[in-house]
Chain A
Amino acid sequence: MAEISIQVNGRQQKHEAEPRTHLGDFIREKSRLTGTNLSCEHGVCGACTVLVDGRPVRSCITFAGACDGHEVTTVEGYDDDPIMSRLRTAFSEKHALQCGFCTPGMLATSRDIVLRLPDADEARVRIELSGNICRCTGYQGITAAILSVLQALRDQPDAQVDALRAAVVQNVQQDWNQNGFTTFDAVQEDVQAPAPVAAAAPAASGRADKGKGQAIQGGFDARFPADQVWAFMKDLPKVAGCLPGAMIESQEGATVQGKIAIKFGPMSAAFKGNAALEEDNERRAAVLRGEGVDSLSQSRARGDVSFQVNPDGPERSRVEVELVYSLQGPLAQFSRSGLVQDFVRRMIAEFGKNVNLRLEKPLAEGEEPVVAEFNPVKMFFSILWDRFKGLFRRA
């Protein structure tokens, strides 16, 4: 606990709060000003927007401690604000109010538009409002309300509003790229050749058994005959031992319980769950169906890993791998499909390397595989190193 002192709507508020308390909770729970609404709590919906030192900010991703000694204005504190009094009237005249949940945040943003952008047209108003979501779809009325206030101020300037506008630094209008383009002889920079990108396509229906999924194809070469690789690949504990970050906790027939830890930049998650293996000995193919939950972020993942071992001559084989996955919850927000593709492609490469290693040097009886955390950076350097070696091979 720490003592945090914030001037809210002109009154000093001094409260004990935990460092993890965000400004939105501080205002609602400590100052008992419940006009500010919280919804997504990760900066996307704009419902919690309040003014800090006169500027709109998201109170859900701004921590109260960071506002110690600063001024905050909430929807309860606009009584004497000359812009807000106009907006209040305009919002009710233009039917900009429905359930009112988004309204406190909408007003904070609307005030900012009126203040900073006296000449905004409808397109600009809509762009500026795009960070505030209205679940009642009141956008038409809200836009009309702001435009009407802007117009009224243009028709009949208001000294009080002008004074407020003069106090904020206006956007300095600039002309960019004024003159024509003159061709010239540029120096070409050196950059590395691109690494190949894994193919990705939406999963064909019927492949993932529930819900939509993304499919990622990959594969690796094994330096062993297909039958030997297949025998290895259908042994669940062995396969898991080659998957970076994976650990099996118990096994019952073809079903295992376990977890897989992944680290993605600053983010980390440990999915706990189960997986079952369905084999097709004839085709040397199998599907590993798994699902799990990251207990801390409550992200859920499910995925089917299909693989098939094909002979590539008598002594070598190729393992084709396809992952169809779906991700829900917090982690899904940071996993735009391209990133996951890259991540999975590296994971498959690492997995292939480990399978080869284990086939070459099987673990001794009783020896536990070392569970390595999946580390994209280390892998990145190994890719760089491969490329570097490739340069010399070509030369």
Chain B
Amino acid sequence: MKAAKFEYEQAQSLQQIQDAYGSDPSALRLMGGSQSLGPMLNLRLVRPGRVLDVSAVPELRQVTAIKGHVRIGAAVTHAQIEDGIYELLRGHMMQKVAGRIAYRGVRNRGTLGGSLAHADPAADWVLTCVALGARINVRGTQGSRTVPMSEFMLAAYTTVLEAGEFIESVDVPEVSGSARWGYYKFTRKVGEFADASCACYFDPATRTARVVIGAMEGAPRSLPELAVKVAAQGAAVLEGDTIEAALQPYLAQRDEAHQVLFRTVVERSLKQALGVKG
């Protein structure tokens, strides 16, 4: 199917994005790589009157160092992160995860900001950014604010972004020698959205431990007690039913197949972080 009619403009600066919102911000829809918006437009599930392409705005394409963090512009693409073209992200968890998103043809255009704003519960960046404790830098006609990723996504396809607001950049922790992490997703076919996924991140230097599961009904779910146990016990946590118990409240009413999938993604993600083979 073809998209319904819309007007299309390209922004060249942050100011132009803000100006474009004008007096009726809800009438405008931003476009990053159009890799989620494009299908929705073609399927006529969204029918905006005006579309503003933000993918060429120079400020949104930068990657810079900010006190212990890497600030990634919203319009940086998955493929750019995958290829390690930004020195600050080489060897970062982000680089490894990027290569697992969709297909190269999609990664060449899809952007970090677009993926987070789209807020698909099974999206890879949504899960990774929760595990990393990322901060989302939001800019709008009313000023700027920073929202922790754990609070950014409210429900499926729903975020805290108000009309007139957009994602400017995302801060993730810089590559650290002491950090360990894992990422595992189950898909029926490579490049699909996850059926079950888990990301974990541990850094003794900052006493950080996170285990997060994705592809749930809404936003990813953090398992803080399990994370602390893993930090304290290491591989011993894989024995017994600690993982099972941590997942229980989230999965009790899911069918058995899902329970097995989730237990397995948590185990495999932890094994990566713990350096355990298998």
Contact = CB atoms under 8 A, between A and B. Distances in A.
B38 A46 contact: no
B85 A169 contact: yes
A233 to B, nearest CB: 25
A37 B164 CA distance: 38
A232 interface: no
Nearest to B119: A265
Interface stretch (B57-65, B66-74, B249-257): B249-257
A233 B271 CA distance: 53
Contacts of A108: 105
Contact of B39 (A43, A49, A201): A43
22 contacts: A19-B6, A19-B51, A49-B105, A58-B109, A60-B38, A61-B42, A131-B191, A181-B180, A181-B273, A183-B233, A186-B209, A188-B224, A188-B225, A188-B227, A296-B47, A297-B45, A334-B40, A338-B215, A338-B217, A339-B156, A342-B218, A377-B158
Interface in B203-225: 204, 207-210, 215-218, 221-222, 224-225
Chain A interface SS verdict (over half): loop
A46 B105 contact: yes
A323 interface: no
B45 A268 contact: yes
A43 B8 contact: no
Top 3 closest pairs, chain A to chain B, by CB: A265-B157, A131-B103, A61-B38
Contacts of A334: 40, 45, 157
Given A183-B231, A268-B45, A62 B34 contact: yes
B219 to A, nearest CB: 10
A194 interface: yes
A109 interface: yes
A41 interface: yes
Nearest to A168: B83
Interface in A326-377: 330-331, 333-334, 336, 338-339, 341-343, 376-377
Contacts of B4: 20, 296
B241 interface: no
Interface in A51-85: 52, 55-58, 60-63, 65-66, 68
Interface string A122-156: 00000110111000000000000000000000000
Contact of B38 (A43, A56, A128): A43
A386 interface: no
Nearest to B90: A172
B22 interface: no
Interface extent on B, as a size class?
35 or more
A395 interface: no
Interface in B154-185: 154-158, 178, 180-182
Contacts of B109: 57-58, 62
Contact of B156 (A131, A132, A264, A268): A264
Contacts of A190: 224
B156 A342 contact: yes
Nearest to A54: B108
A56 B46 CA distance: 26
A163 interface: no
Contact of A65 (B53, B90, B102, B232): B53
Nearest to B100: A127
Nearest to B182: A177
A159 interface: no
Interface of B: 1-8, 10, 29, 31, 34-35, 38-47, 51, 53, 55, 79, 82-85, 90-91, 93, 95-96, 99, 102-106, 108-109, 118-119, 121-122, 150, 154-158, 178, 180-182, 189-191, 193, 202, 204, 207-210, 215-218, 221-222, 224-225, 227-228, 231-235, 249-255, 272-275
Given A61-B34, A66-B53, A194-B249, A56 B3 contact: no
A20 B47 CA distance: 11
Contacts of A175: 91
A174 B1 CA distance: 42
A282 interface: no
Interface of A: 2, 18-20, 22, 25, 41-43, 46, 49, 52, 55-58, 60-63, 65-66, 68, 108-109, 112, 127-128, 130-132, 169-172, 174-177, 179-191, 193-194, 196-201, 264-269, 296-298, 330-331, 333-334, 336, 338-339, 341-343, 376-377, 380
A174 B177 CA distance: 13
Given A182-B204, A189-B224, A377 B42 contact: no
A334 B95 CA distance: 27
A54 B6 CA distance: 28
Nearest to A25: B2
Given A46-B103, A171-B82, A191-B224, 15 more contacts: A52-B108, A61-B34, A63-B34, A172-B84, A181-B275, A184-B202, A189-B227, A191-B150, A266-B40, A296-B44, A297-B44, A330-B1, A330-B43, A339-B156, A343-B156
Contacts of A68: 10
Contacts of B156: 264-265, 339, 342-343, 376
Contact of B216 (A131, A181, A200, A338): A338
